[in-house]
Structure 1
Amino acid sequence: MKPRVLFAAAAVALAASAAAGLPAVQASAAPTNPAGRSASEAPASSPVGAADGNLSSTALSSWETDGTVWAIAYANGVVYVGGQFSNALPPGTPAGTTTGEVSRTYLAAFNSTTGALITSFDPTITGSASYPGVYALAVSPDGKTLYVGGTFDHVNGVARDDLAAFNLSTGALTSWAPPANGKVNTIALSPNGSEIYVGGSFYKLGIPLTSRTYAGAVDTSGNIQPWAPVLNNAVTSIAVTPDDSQVLVGGYFQTINGVSQNAAGAVDPSTGTKTEPWNANIVPYNPPSCTSAVKDIVISNGTAYIAAEGTGGGCFDGDFAVSLSLSSGDNLVWQNTCLGATQALVVINGWLFKGSHAHDCDFSPGGFPTVTGGVGHHLLDQSLADGTLGHWTPDTSGNPLGPRAMATDGSRLFLGGDFTTVNGKNQEGFAIFPPKPDSVYPSNPRTAPTVSSTSSGTVTVSFPAVSSADVGTLNYEIFRDGGKTPIATLTATSWPWALPVLQYQDTNLTPGSAHTYTYAATDGTHLTARSPSSASVTVASTNPAHTYNQTVLNDNPSFFWQLNDSGSTAADSSPHGFNGSYTGGTTQGVPGPMSGSTATSFNGSSGNVVSQNTVVGPQTFSIELWFKTTTNTGGKLIGLGNSQSGMSSNYDRHIYMMNDGQLVFGIWNNQTETIETPDVYNDGQWHHVVATYDATNTTGPNMALYLDGHLIGTATSSSAQAYTGYWRVGGDNLNGWNLDPWGGNSQGTTEPYSYYFTGSIADVAVYPSALSAAQVLAHYAAALYQGG
């Protein structure tokens, strides 16, 4: 499979559009009326400056550890961290430096607000077994006792077999001393604190030492309890529902009480031998190629959020949500299939925060493609409702994985792991992310605006959005000729991997005058530096000579479907009579891209407009259409396929959208030959796309992709696949066109997630020639002018 061809154009012009058309109105500051704004703005998913969970992406300069933190617990203004470390280090200490270190063996405490080391809490934990350390922490519901588990044999010189407890008022070791004869990975308490559930790789537990394979429970005196689920492999996570009706277990097992159920499930809280109905058995176990295990479980408002780590390329590494109900069963709510082992989860202020090394979310709606080098986003957040990715994107180093544990006091995020830096600054093992406000600026614009004068007295200014590490929606101020006051303010929502393109029409300018433009971004508090200046543009003195439709017809299309019909036939507006047919899943008469025009919407599962007759696949052609969508599941906008219905077996010469909103133009030549946009176009605005190919051009790139009048990129293909087919709008097969280098995943999801497009399409034209850049810009300019 050929690697994806990316061309980061200087900027991409965005169609000046809204539901009512493409207005060309006078420049004004901060346009807010969608029907009358002169700029395309990505829909704002949150107010300008709002951060998911009100959480900063900047970590405090707190004390650190000199090794991996595997467990975190919070109580009474103190954060307790356990792991495999020997010392606490002052803030900002580089990894490997011993200056200022303070001995803390496997367990330490820090002030939750400042990150300062708590000097009064200094237990000594030792162990002679392999990989000694603390791997589990839990605080009693009354906040008085800290329970500790791991691999150790003494605490403060007193014998303790892998379990211990501390009085949090005094810091003293308590008499609680149930033994475990193997590693303890997780500890959870019943809502009233009377039962302490323990999971790990042990075979015996409690007082008296009793057979308990991988999981068991003791009371506050350490006495063994009846709870004894039968599991066939180690347990890594346990969580108890707030109503004490279910105990969730996760780990490396494949059966629970004899029921085939890989890695996660629920049992009763009394004996553990009753397996609750679990309709979310999605974690794969297909050795040796693909096995996944559960690493963390958190419960919030009746839903469990579960983290998975897979082994084997493409094996399930993401997370999923399960609604918890004894009456209707525990049912899958959503699943996020990002690749890159998910280690830790926590819910803060209505958002799910995630620690992983996610390097590929191509297969998740709205997700990002493979990160160059395979090292991805170690910290992300997700919607509780559907698991889609949010905007909180700080990062840690991965040594090798990065985050390993998370906890919260309700407003702060406490992070532990094997990282040595956070956001590029020295911060080893432990970090605190406080609530906003903070000092985080959006990234500085690096791209000069693209400018063109498409009609008399008007300049079209376009530029890609930037992103912030904790704010999704930003304002963009546009400046003319270096002025101090912005001529307009636009609003857009972005992610680091999904940057929409904004456009503004500066009108009532003097024909023949010359201007330059810059822009800056702000989250309402912090204003970036201005972008590089655009090239100088001379204001046109004439308007397009023809309407959009006439401009298209003047370039002699093979067919022109305006998709403004009311019947079952898509009428060809060219002289060639090459009509199409509407299928189910389409809705006619929706607002179109130009003032007074209409379009057809497609439902994303079956909607098609298909040519009534076949054509021999052309070796020279152009494809043109307008589209509008907010989909995060991608889909094919148009393409040639050898089947008039269902899925074609031969298919190429197509334009399709990726899950994140990027567009791809592709030709099949015994391999995929593609051009992919660097920016995204699922912003709810009308966009104009043109793809051209000319096999007779053997001296240079012969594939080209244009968005909103401007060239995005080029590629080369010696030929396109030879077959006879139908032109299909709205969807067709895309199997084999996944541009993800991992090639797939264990869940069988595709990239794009849907082969059918959800959104509106209008003015579809196919030409027997490769349109020139000047012709493409003329079509776009005619549409902009007609929109006024």
Structure 2
Amino acid sequence: MPQASAITAPVAFTADELPTWQPDGIVWAMAQANGTVFAGGTFSAVRPPEGVAGAEREAVNFVALDAATGNPTSCKLAFTIGDGTATVRTLVVSKDKKTLYAGGYFGAVNGTPVSSLAAIDIASCTPKAAFHPGFPATVRGLAVTDDTLYAAGDFTTVEGQTRERFAAVDASSGALKPFVANVDEPGRAVEVTPDGKNVLLGGDFFTVNNANSHALAVVDAASGAVKKTYTNIPSNSVVKDISTDDTGFYTGHEGSGGGVFDGRIGLRLSDFTEKWRDRCLGATQFVLPYEGVLYSSSHAHDCSTELEFPDGKRNFLLAQPTNHEGAAPAPVDGFVRGPAKLGWHPTANDGLGEGIGPRVMAVAEKNDVKYMWVGGEFTLINGKAQQGLTRFASTGDVGAPTTPVASASSVKPGEVQVRWRTSYDADDSKLTYRIYRNGSATPAATVTASSLEWERPQASWNDTTVKAGQSYTYRVTATDAAGNTSALSATTSVTVPTSVQSYPNQVRTDGADLYWRYDDAVSPYTADSSVSGNRSGVQVNAPALKQSPGAVPGSTAMGFNGTSQQVHSDRRQSVGNTFTIETWFKTNTTRGGKLIGFGNNTTRSSGSNDRHIYMTNTGRLVFGVYNGSTRTVSTGLFETYNDNKWHHVVGTQGPGGITLYVDGQNKGSLNATSNSTYAGYWHAGGDNLSGWPTRPTSNFFAGQLDETAVYPTALTQAQVKNHFDLAKAPTDTVSTVKTTEDTYINQGAPSTAYGTATSLAVRGSGSLYQAYMRFDLPAAPAGQVLKSAALQFKTSTQASAGTADTVSVVPVTGNWSGASTSFNTKPALGATPLGTIAGVPEGSAVHNVELDTAAVTAVLGSSYSLGLTSNGTDPLWIWSSESTAAEGTPQLVLTFGAK
């Protein structure tokens, strides 16, 4: 098995679920000792994992399982009660690993009378009859030292004496101890500090021994005297769990209502003060520090305050460092943000009961392998049926990253920008990407990039070895640290221009750090063509791709339906008081909609939103920011732009305020030099417009968008006008012309025709091979001339398909056909080569041969044949038009441009 080092440190476990027996109800509690995991809850039986043979077994609210196999052990305990529903709510193991303590609501264990708290001898799997302190209500939390067992719950008396929600008993006899820490609402969690001197209390309470302290308190371990109170936890939030490590303690919170705190707090053991507060929303049920990482179970759905994922899908299992690396960030709203989430992200679901998902966690070890066990209400793990229990190991990472989505573009000779949306791997956040050019088996480049499930930024690589006028293809793979590799991305192709493309080059030169050209051919990725911004977009609800013609010659546009489609950036960011937004649009809508803007959410409607350009129902344009009130500039009453023509719109903000430009002209300014401060995402095609002046009927835009760009500066009027003018400038056009017919001849079989063969051969001596190809060439577009021409072919997959010899491309001057031409009837060839390639490397890959531009110009608009010949003995084998190989058909790449 791959070792733990294959997982991106400091995460210690894979996200690959292991086969585990599962209960028919809910797991509330978990503990472990000596390679055995104990799970308690509300259930009546356990059954094998899905797809594994075996009969269901009785398991009354408790099961013991082998940590390494996930199978039940011989230990069988039944927790029952005469009236009501018995349940096990908490489990803890003594320091010597000999006794298991169980709390909950039950009256007997295997028939032995108890009162909601029991001690189990682990070796014999039997309840200790002499240990039966009287707890008349549910016990929800337990913590144990060498001689004392602390309990939290709903009780108000123990053994007939007042102990309100927290109590301590002798760990051996169960005798009540003098510890008194009375609280006014239920206790849910209890933990002892590592030095044994203090007890940490968590729950719903507002007072401890009559001192004001909500949800959390620190008391003396012997007496219960209050040591530390807390008043900064919202009143509608409670503590569900507390855990400790050598340097700190950690709390998990749940709440409801406005201003709720659902996240985690890290606190110091030295003085019990707060280190950080993670304010993600989504009911944290359990916190488990392990080797410097805090693992947590929750249903976190909104981590906007942590600058992570916005409100949306639920994330049930998370990991983050227990401490900030280096200096902690400055407080925000009075709280230091929690350490950023790590790349460990198994998935679950809400499941049964309260629909909380995972509720409890434990780390067990057996045979030098460590296992993270998780219990709760879930019924799915990683999309597969699995109820109540699951586990993950420290070894055996077998999950490959998702397949990258790649794109390539070129705006000037000598450079191709290869971009891809980074992949996602549930337990590896740092992945290695390999870029393959022209079908080669050897990567042209290797790039390392980090990503998380909710943050998959664009990565890119510039290929500076390309030649003008030639066409190239690229594919990308992702590999994790264990060596698991994704499939190859879909092929993306690009032709390098023979001259600089003026419009996109100027956008890049003027400093755009987001530039969506909408030339993408695959959903849901929208590539960023800026120089180094890597702020790609995510398409929502499948906008229409490759809409032609675009606003700029040579570019395509994206179509939006006006009801649900948009593109949002995939990286949360903050935007200052100086910026420019720019886009081209075409529409005939009478319902308006947002063209481009900034908001604090992605797929859900943004509560905070401004820095946007939108269209009213009548076709007027509005640009605005929010700085306590909406500040907008709009076009005139009769200046409308829903005429189904391409228009250019730009909004800027800087020290001089905000300005709106349309089609290169200044349409008005306003002295608004500030805007809202929040982190968010750029949107194109739609987002919330609630509360904005002349709000349109629709938040979403119906029409086409092209060339959307964002700049960290305020463009000048001259720059804006230049962009508008450059969009009308002529640009190169590229035509790819595939063979209409091809064949080859073989001197060794002089009468055989190979017109239906899937490959073509070239060899000069020995048994002579020559290949022939026919193309229907287009005429040059009006006002343009041929600037470059290249023949492109792909070597086949057979051994030694490449050649060490020079291969020449020559005109075919005689007649031939695929159906009848053989060596005996081969056509005549021209003497002057149109181009040559000096050796073709072994391995199946695409190759380009530059052709004589003047010679090809002379035959434009006609049917034209080319032959491949060589003088050596090393044969070249390439795919023919009959091959089904990707990128296999021979083709001409023709670039036309202005005279």
Unaligned runs of 5+ in 2: 324-337, 514-529, 533-569, 581-593, 624-632, 652-661, 691-710, 730-899
How far off is 1:767 after superposition?
3.8
2:17 equivalent to 1:86: no
Which one-letter code corresponds to 1:486 in the other structure? P
Change (3 A) 1:276 1:474: same
Judging changes above 3 Å, is the alpha-carbon distance between structure 1 residues 415 and 456 closer, same or farther for their aligned structure 2 residues? same
Match of 1:725 in 2: 671
Counterparts of 2:435 and 2:239, CA distance in 1: 48
- The SS at the match of 1:222 is coil
Match of 1:455 in 2: 412
Q: 1:252 to 1:430 in 2, by over 3 A?
A: same
Closer/same/farther in 2, CA of residues 235 and 407 from structure 1, 3 Å limit: same
Aligned-partner residue type, residue 204 of structure 1: T
Structure 1 counterpart SS, 2:461: strand
Q: 1:634 aligns with which of 543, 549, 574?
A: 574
Match of 1:430 in 2: 389
Q: Shift in Å at residue 773 of structure 1? A: 9.0
Residue in structure 1 matching 2:268, options 295, 309, 323? 323
Query: SS where residue 135 of structure 1 aligns?
Result: strand
**For 2:201, which of 244, 249, 255 is the aligned residue?**
249
What's the offset of the Cα at 1:633? 7.0
Within 5 Å, which residues of 2 pair with 1:180-191?
180-190=135-145
Structure 1 88/238 Cα, relative in aligned 2: closer, same or farther at 3 Å?
Answer: same
CA shift, 1:271, in A, is: 1.3
1:638, 1:654 within 8 Å by CA — same for their partners in 2? no
Q: Give CA deviations for 1:241-270 in whole Å, capped at 9, x if unaligned.
A: 010121001111111222222111111111
Return the match for 1:390 from 316, 333, 342.
Answer: 342
Distance 2:320 2:508 in 1: 45
Q: 1:443 aligns with which of 389, 395, 402?
A: 402
Between stretches 762-771 and 214-223, larger displacement belongs to: 762-771
Letter in 1 for 2:82: S
Contact 2:477–2:489 at 8 Å: present in 1 too? yes
Correspondent of 1:351 among 293, 297, 302: 293
CA deviation vs aligned residue, 1:326-367 (integer Å, no higher than 9, x gap): xxx3111111111111111111221111101111111213x1
Aligned residue for 2:126, secondary structure, equals coil
Please identify, of 497-506 and 177-186, the stretch whose mean Cα deviation from structure 2 is larger.
Answer: 497-506
Q: 1:166 aligns with which of 120, 130, 141?
A: 120
Correspondence for 1:70 among 5, 10, 28: 28
The structure with more strand, counted as a fraction of residues = 2
Q: In 1, distance between residues paired with 2:77 and 2:722?
A: 75
- Note closer, same or farther for the CA distance 1:541–1:156 as it changes in structure 2 (3 Å cut): same
Shift of 1:774: 9.5
The one-character-per-residue Cα deviations of 1:125-174 (angstroms, maximum 9, x if unpaired) are 21134442100111000000000111111111121110111111111111
Provide the secondary structure at the position in 2 that maps to 1:428.
coil
The code of the aligned residue for 1:317 comes to D
Whether contact under 8 Å (2:597, 2:682) holds in the other structure is no
**Residues 299 and 485 of structure 1, relative CA distance in 2, 3 Å threshold:** same
SS of structure 2 residue aligned to 1:321: strand
In the alignment, what sits opposite 1:361?
303
Q: Which residue of 2 aligns with 1:520?
A: 477
State the alpha-carbon separation in 2 of the partners of residues 774 and 469 from structure 1. 47
SS of residue matched to 1:59: coil
The aligned residue for residue 378 of structure 1 is 316
1:510 aligns with 2:467: yes
The answer to whether the 8 A contact 2:284-2:296 is kept is yes
Matches within 5 A, 1:590-739: 634-636=574-576, 638=578, 666-667=611-612, 696-699=640-643, 724-727=670-673, 733=677
Change (3 A) 1:99 1:215: same
Deviations, residues 183-228 of structure 1 (Å, cap 9, x unaligned): 00011012xx20100110011214xx32211110000201110111
More moved, 408-417 vs 542-551: 542-551
- The alpha-carbon deviation at position 452 of structure 1 amounts to 1.8
1:504 offset after TM fit, Å? 1.4
1:211 paired with 2:165, answer no
- Please give the alpha-carbon distance, in whole angstroms, between the structure 1 residues aligned to 2:728 and 2:418: 14
Secondary structure of the residue aligned to 2:578 is strand
Q: Choose from 506, 524, 530 the match for 2:488.
A: 530
How far did residue 499 of structure 1 move? 1.0
Matches of 2:596 and 2:471, distance apart in 1: 39
Tell me if 1:146 matches 2:109. Answer: no
Match of 2:828 in 1: none
Residue 324 of structure 1, CA deviation: 1.9
Aligned equivalents of 1:551, 1:492: Cα separation in 2:
23
Whole-angstrom CA distance in 2 between matches of 1:152 and 1:544: 77
Partner SS for 2:715 = strand
In the alignment, the residues of structure 2 paired with residue 776 and residue 241 of structure 1 have an alpha-carbon distance, to the nearest angstrom, of 68
Contact (CA 8 Å) 2:212, 2:231: kept in 1 or not? Answer: no
CA shift at 1:454, angstroms? 2.0
Asked if the contact 1:49–1:474 (Cα under 8 Å) also holds between the matched residues in 2, the reply is no
- Tell me which residue corresponds to 2:591: none
| 1:475 and 2:432 aligned | yes
Structure 1 counterpart of 2:149: 196
Give the match's secondary structure for 1:409. strand
Residues 71 and 416 in structure 1, CA contact (< 8 A), matched pair in contact too: yes
What is the DSSP-based 3-state SS (H/G/I as helix, E as strand, rest coil) of the residue aligned with 1:636?
A: coil
1:653-681 superposed Cα distances (whole Å, 9 cap, x missing partner) = 99769699x9987327799x999xxxxxx
* Aligned residue number for residue 498 of structure 2: 541
Could you tell me how far apart the structure 2 residues matched to 1:105 and 1:702 are?
Answer: 71
Q: What amino acid maps onto 2:223 in structure 1? A: T
2:771 alignment partner in structure 1: none
* Deviation of the 1:542 alpha carbon: 2.7
Residue 697 of structure 1 deviates from its aligned partner by 2.5
Q: Aligned-pair distance for 1:47?
A: 9.4
SS in structure 1 of the partner of residue 11 of structure 2? helix
CA change 1:639–1:194 in 2 (3 A) is: same
In the alignment, what sits opposite 2:896? Answer: none
User: Cα offset for 1:413?
Assistant: 1.2
Q: Within the alignment, does 1:157 sit opposite 2:111 as a pair?
A: yes
Query: Which is higher, the Rg of structure 1 or of structure 2?
Result: 2
Question: Contact 1:52 / 1:470 at 8 angstroms: preserved in 2?
Answer: no
| 1:725 CA displacement | 1.5
The verdict on how the C-alpha distance between 1:88 and 1:550 changes in structure 2, with shifts beyond 3 A counting, is closer
Q: CA deviation at 1:59?
A: 1.6
Q: Say whether residues 1:498 and 2:455 are aligned partners.
A: yes
- 1:212 and 1:550, CA in 2 relative to 1: closer, same or farther beyond 3 A? closer
Structural mapping, 1:98-109, within 5 Å: 100-109=55-64
Structure 2 contact 455–571 (Cα < 8 Å) conserved? no
Distance 1:314 1:773 in 2: 47
CA shift, 1:736, in A, is 12
How much identity, in percent, do the aligned residues show?
29
Q: Deviations over 1:532-557 (max 9, x none)?
A: 111x321122347899899979xxxx
TM score, norm. by length of structure 2: 0.59
TM-score when scaled to structure 1? 0.66
Give the partner amino acid of 1:438: D
Distance 2:73 2:679 in 1: 57
Structure 1 residue 489, shift from structure 2 partner: 0.9
Aligned residue identity for 2:72: L
Q: Report the aligned-residue RMSD.
A: 4.3
What do the CA deviations read for 1:724-778 (whole angstroms, capped 9, x no partner)? 21446xx75459999999x9xxxxxxxxxxxxxxxxx976424485886995999
CA distance change for structure 1 residues 394 and 699 in 2, over 3 Å: closer, same or farther? farther
> Match of 1:479, SS?
strand
2:376 alignment partner AA: G
Q: Secondary structure at the match of 1:503?
A: strand
Equivalent in the alignment of 1:16: none
Which ranges in structure 1 are unaligned for 5 or more consecutive residues? Answer: 1-45, 286-290, 554-559, 563-592, 596-629, 641-651, 676-691, 707-716, 744-760, 779-788
Q: Is residue 639–residue 732 contact of structure 1 (8 Å, CA) maintained in 2? A: no
Contact 1:639–1:727 (CA under 8 A) maintained in structure 2: no
